[in-house]
A = this chain, B = another copy of it.
Amino acid sequence: MSTTIAQRVEAIRKYLADNNLDAFLLPTADPHLGEYQPENAHRVTWLSGFHGENCMVVITKDTAGIFVDGRFTVQVKQQVPADIFQYLHINNDCHLNWTMDNLSAGARIAVDASLFGISWYKNAEKAFTGKGFEIVSLQENPVDLFWEDRPAAPSSAIELFQNAGQSSVEKRHLLAKRLQEKELDATLLTQPEDTNWLVNIRGSDIPYVRSVLSFGLFKNNGELELFIDTARLPEGFADHAGEGVNVYDITALFSVLPEKISADQRIQLDPAQTNAGLFNLLHDAGVSVVEDMNLCARARVCKNEKEIEGMKAAHIQDGIAMCRFLAWVDREVEAGNPNDEETLAAKLLEFRQGVEGFIAPSFPSISALGSNAAIVHYNHDPKNCRKLGSDGMYLIDSGGHYNNANGVSGTTDITRTIKVGNATDEERRMVTLVMRSHISLASARFMPGTTGVQLDTVTRQPMWKEGFNFDHGTGHGIGHFLSVHEFPPRINPSNNCGAMEPGMCVTNEPGFYKEDGFGIRLENVEVVREVTGTAASMLELEAITYTPFDKRLLVAEQMRDDEIEWLNNYHAQVFEKIAPSLNKQDKTWLEQATSPLTRG
């Protein structure tokens, strides 16, 4: 392994020397800057051996560094040869300064700008040129020149999506109006979720996301210039998408896009979602670039009635699988069978695969026993993980994509923390507090205009009153058979992305983590809807996840009447929706799991 890595690093160094360059910076990213990348974009892995996320590699003529975050400090040492790479921390060590410290004045630092965000590029350019270095934006990625067994580009089947509830023509008509209102000529679409939503297609080009990789330039006359793998477009696509969609092969993006824009245009892009290569292209063409939050996403995330129906149907299917799984876990615990985090996660996937409409997991499950649950982003090692038997609690955070012709269509994300042994008083107290925070948001009502930052504070009140907090956001948007993380909305302490609007789907997932002790998270998906019949206009959140919370971990005496009432009403609804699909044994389990919580 180390020999191969050494050869690859040397190949890059030769490229640098041949091209009068002194360093090369490579991040784990593809040109969409999304959460997941296709295999042919795993350049960091090819070059360093590292398989984790959120990494930056720096190669100079005589040294190399790999920057990873706290989740990967152990893993990097196992995967990346220490004789070639220096291990560094991506937050504590500044990779820009480290690069410059290892170069002589005047050095030329090469990057593939299409893999970096705009703000990174601007910062790097300022830092480098400010100290007499030069940043060189390459026209090719040197890794691609030497990567012999590089995986092919994604080739998933493109589906003409039938459960959208709105035609592409109609969506484009409404979005064009928004552009006109803002006096924009066009908006640049860099997120596959946007282009896929806009022309009503789906695919599986990258893990856990139901999209086909593509870019778009959407114009204020309703036309879309769509950059996609044209060879894969199925018969009937033109009719399905309707008039005004012009397709080009995605590989021609950087050559064709300049022909579609002109210096007199105002084009909006989202600086957080656009790579510096595209930004530089627009900038060089003299376009007036308007940096603003993704306009297409703002339309997309407010789901229509058909999409909300599909989400609810998907959550009923998911609830059936979850209830079967939780009933099974109780039986396994009772029987004393030594399941571990891996077999538990596998069994849940099996239950999901057993319900109609299930397509794929929406993200890697977090299956964590005991103290492992205190690691928020815990990723169990299938060969060496905790077993049932010695821990009081088990945390399972998972979800699925669902889609079929019966109107089941959507994406789920659920976390439950359940009793699998002797839970301590401290554990039960903290589960009760997290439950109360969950209910605080679930039962909130708010005026139009209220933001996720405001709702985050409402959520945390029960925990804050007892002096506890959790160090992650309360919730994120969730897509409609697209991606499990959608932006906007966000419910968190600071990242304000505008008001909560009807039709948005969002998770409600407060937690509590005691290092080396235990971890708790209780998560439902909720949809924002209007309250009817009140004096002032109000919005509220309707829970569309249908799975019981574990009452055995709740201390009723530490809950308020209205909180117990919320929980009992929720559980009654879960029973009503899920019971008809369960066998007798599981139905009996659900009856008990959803029976009213009472005091004393």
Contact partner of A453 (CB less than 8 A), chosen from B446, B453, B531, is B453
> Quick check: A538 and B453 within 8 Å, CB to CB?
no
Known: A454-B454, A560-B560. A444 touches B461 (CB 8 A): yes
Among A56-64, A198-206, A416-424, A466-474, the one that faces the other chain is A466-474
> Quick check: A469 and B560 within 8 Å, CB to CB?
no
Q: What residue in chain B is nearest A494 (Cβ atoms)?
A: B449
Q: 1/0 per residue A97-118: CB within 8 Å of B?
A: 0000000000000000000000
A45 at the interface (CB under 8 A from B): no
Give bound CA distance, A512 to B547, whole Å: 39
Residues on B with beta carbons closer than 8 Å to the beta carbon of A456 = 454
Counted per complex, copies of this chain come to 2
Residues on B with beta carbons closer than 8 Å to the beta carbon of A465 = 443-445
- In the assembled complex, the CB of A489 is this many whole angstroms from the nearest CB of chain B, namely 15
> Quick check: A538 and B455 within 8 Å, CB to CB?
no
Q: What residue in chain B is nearest A449 (Cβ atoms)?
A: B493
- In the assembled complex, the CB of A65 is this many whole angstroms from the nearest CB of chain B, namely 32
Q: 1/0 per residue A417-460: CB within 8 Å of B?
A: 00000000000000000000000000111110110011111101
> Quick check: A446 and B464 within 8 Å, CB to CB?
yes
Contact partner of A468 (CB less than 8 A), chosen from B449, B457, B469, B535, is B535
A561 at the interface (CB under 8 A from B): yes
- In the assembled complex, the CB of A562 is this many whole angstroms from the nearest CB of chain B, namely 7
A536 at the interface (CB under 8 A from B): yes
Q: 1/0 per residue A552-587: CB within 8 Å of B?
A: 000000001110000000000000000000000000
Residues on B with beta carbons closer than 8 Å to the beta carbon of A560 = 560-562
Contact partner of A458 (CB less than 8 A), chosen from B445, B461, B534, B535, is B461
Known: A457-B455, A457-B457, A458-B458. A447 touches B534 (CB 8 A): no
* 4 additional contacts (CB under 8 A) given A446-B457, A446-B464, A464-B538: A445-B467, A447-B493, A453-B454, A454-B457
Give the B-binding residues of A (Cβ under 8 A).
443-447, 449-450, 453-458, 460-461, 464-469, 493-494, 531, 533-536, 538, 560-562
23 A-B pairs within 8 Å (CB atoms) are namely A444-B461, A444-B465, A445-B461, A445-B464, A445-B465, A446-B457, A446-B464, A447-B469, A449-B493, A449-B494, A450-B493, A454-B456, A455-B457, A458-B461, A464-B538, A466-B534, A467-B531, A467-B534, A467-B536, A468-B534, A468-B535, A468-B536, A469-B536
